[in-house]
Structure 1
Amino acid sequence: MLPHLRVDPNKACLRTPVVRWGILAFTGAVLAAVALALGTPSQAAAGSHGCPDLSLCLYKTEADWTADHPSATYQGVTRDPQDLGPEAYGSYAVYSALGDVRAILTLLGAQNGQAHGICVSPGEQRVLYPDTVTTIHIDEKSGC
């Protein structure tokens, strides 16, 4: 409180029901506006396709993809390619919310069984099916 603005709580104007209800209504409106702007914690944490910010998300099935329900999420730069666990191996689709780094995925081709790599840029989404994703490498470089 500023020293030159002193409020006496015993003054009649602050004790009237109209003033108290006005202050409460204003405070409630401000809190509601802030809550609406921030959203719920799950909304704030999830970006496109339900993928948390700064993550690479894999969706095991088409149903997971259409429901925006990632089966596996990966974060942080990795030194070497990482083998995927059962929740991500062979995923249907990928979405990158990595920010400013790229991800390199290794896929086995459905037609010839040959391994090949694809680069996924930040904000990129891609259906991987019918190929089978086997490894992931999050690189510190920004572009593909």
Structure 2
Amino acid sequence: MLTTHPRAALYLLFAAAAACTPAADGIDPKGKTFDAVAPEEAVTLTGTEPFWTLAIAAGEGVWTTPENQPGTRFAVKRFAGNNGLGFSGELDSKPLTATLTPGECSDGMSDRRFPFVATIALGGETFEGCGYTTSQPFTGDEAP
């Protein structure tokens, strides 16, 4: 049998109200859709360990790895969220979802700095890296 004490009930009420307070985590509480990357911009997501690149332009993605230098082309759909962009498609019969969110990023292997953080879910694997666009490029040395 559960008994309720007035103080305990009051504490739970305040705790529940506090849980409803919006977090200050970069998400727009007004629900404004992310618009910092224009639809016509090319987007590049890249990572190391293992090395990979996903280049996206005009509704097409090209997935490149050291073992697949020409890359594999596939259709992608773009969607804007509250704090970033998403892309979805199917690569070699596996679902792929890529996200691009604002934030300083380093590839850990060069002096380059990127304006976006990239995450890719491909099949059951997750790849983390950095991203840039045609109008918001990385800074630092070019690729060798």
Give the TM-score of the pair, scaled to structure 1: 0.28
Greater strand share, structure number? 2
Q: Relative CO higher for 1 or 2, CA cutoff 8 Å, sep ≥ 6?
A: 1
Greater helix share, structure number? 1
Structure index of larger Rg: 1
